[in-house]
Amino acid sequence: MHARRNRFRFTSLIPLLALSLAAPAGAEWYQQQRDLMGTRVSVELWHEAADAAARCAGLAFAEIGRIESVMSTYLGASEISFINNNAAVAPVEISAEMDYLLRESLRFSELTGGAFDITYASVGHAYDYRAGKKPDDRTIAHGLAAIDYRHVELADGTVRFRHGGVRLDLGGIAKGYAVDRAAAVLQDCGIAEAMVSAGGDSRILGDRRGRAWMIGIRHPRDPAGIALRLPLANSAISTSGDYERFFIDAGERVHHIINPATGRSATRSWSATVTGPDAMTTDALSTSIFVLGAADGIALIERLDGIDAIVIDNHGKLHYSSGFESPANGG
């Protein structure tokens, strides 16, 4: 499995190699992990001074923590919780950042024909994967009317719900956004080569001392296995899988990616991976493509510039967008 040739230009390899040989004493990779946004967040960066590395990584984690405090529905005092509690009653004034993320979410809903929909939570919040709890048919049928991104009205820095049952959750886009923001913080800190990952969402700044990063995609049915590896530089990658948060109920896998059309776990894919320029985009699209399934999902990706996808369907078969070529094709 190789990425399309024109994705990497190794013409720059020789000067970079010379540069790395000439790196100042003490220059090295620095890695730190923290638990944030309900997942393991990792920052890995190349630095020339150890104190700068720790300071820059600290700023990146602080930025992710800040975003969590605004965007998490698990935190009663977050801005998103305030919106959920009040926007059905009257328009709620929102921060510029929330306005941006809600607008982007609605844009992805339009783009994906509603496969991506932050109002999924109108039913989605009735699932508890840790407790193995799912809503009964009546609850789903009742909540389904509230799942529709068109119920979310944005105007003049406010948000309002057009339906009383609407609940929002940014779980399908906020981690990617946070990873992008953390990468921007690292860049402002003078870091040129880094990877920031939060669960299934990663953003890569630069490359790995003149080489690509090799990013493994988990095998969806073998927790220790890697389905394939992708070489990446200067880009983002997200994977959505039905193995991340799930329980088995009467032989059926109940997991955290909800088909907005049914209010139930999406069934067409085992996993969906998207590569692109930024992690907010790849995060939202990996969730979307997972819901759409291989045929519709990859057809959508083919219409988008600079974005590629690999879907593992519900039989375990891999499907690639045309930006990737399989080894069988001589790639």
Q: Residue numbers of the site for ligand AMP (CB under 6 A)? A: 116-118, 120, 124, 169, 171-172, 200, 240, 244, 256-258, 260, 283, 286-287, 291
Question: Of the candidates 200, 240, 201, 213, which has an alpha carbon nearest to the alpha carbon of residue 45?
Answer: 213
User: Which of ligand AMP, Mg ion, none does residue 169 bind to, with CB < 5 to 8 Å depending on kind?
Assistant: ligand AMP
Binds 213, which of ligand AMP, Mg ion, none (CB < 5 to 8 A, cut-off by type)?
none
Question: Closest separation between CB of residue 250 and ligand AMP, Å?
Answer: 22
Q: How far is the CB of 118 from ligand AMP (least distance, A)?
A: 5
Number of residue whose CB is nearest ligand AMP: 171
DSSP class of residue 20? H
- Cβ closest to ligand AMP, residue 149 vs residue 324: 149
Specify whether the CB–CB gap between 297 and 309 falls below 8 A: yes
User: Is residue 143 within 8 Å of 126, Cβ to Cβ?
Assistant: yes
For residues 68 and 117, which CB has a smaller minimum distance to ligand AMP in the complex? Answer: 117
When the beta carbons of 189 and 258 are compared against Mg ion, the nearer one is 258
Choose among Mg ion, ligand AMP, none what residue 210 binds, the Cβ cut-off being 5 to 8 Å by kind: none
Nearer to ligand AMP, 210 or 260 (CB): 260
Query: Least distance in Å: CB of 262 to Mg ion?
Result: 19
The percent helix, strand, coil of the chain (3-state, each to 5) is 35, 30, 35
User: Residue 256 binds which one of Mg ion, ligand AMP, none, with CB within 5 to 8 A depending on kind?
Assistant: ligand AMP
Smallest separation, CB 123 to ligand AMP (Å): 10
DSSP 8-class letter at 269: E
* From the list Mg ion, ligand AMP, none, partner contacted by residue 98 (C-beta under 5 to 8 A by kind): none
Q: Which partner from the list ligand AMP, Mg ion, none does 45 bind, CB cut-off 5 to 8 Å by kind?
A: none
Smallest gap from residue 37 Cβ to Mg ion (A): 12
Decide: helix, strand or coil at residue 14.
Answer: helix
Nearest to 41 by CA among 33, 49, 52, 31: 33
Q: Tokens 């009383």 belong to which residue?
A: 164
Which CB sits closer to ligand AMP, 89 or 141? 141
Closest to Mg ion by CB, 81 vs 238, is 238
* List of residues contacting Mg ion (CB under 5 A): 238, 240, 283, 286-287
Cα distances (angstroms) measured from residue 328 to each of 78, 299, 322, 325, 331: 49, 21, 14, 8, 7
What does the DSSP 8-state code read for residue 208? B
**Rounded Cα gap, residues 165 and 318, in angstroms:** 38
Taking alpha carbons only, the member of 270, 327, 330, 321 closest to residue 300 is: 321
Least distance in Å: CB of 232 to ligand AMP? 18
Give me the least distance between CB of 104 and Mg ion, in Å please.
13
120 vs 320, beta carbon nearer ligand AMP: 120
Note whether 31 and 52 are within 8 A (CB): no
Give min distance, CB of 172 to Mg ion, in A: 5
User: Residue 180 or 193: which CB sits closer to ligand AMP?
Assistant: 180
DSSP states of 116-171: S-GGGHHHHTT-BTTTTB---HHHHHHHHTT--GGGEEEETTEEEESSTT-----T
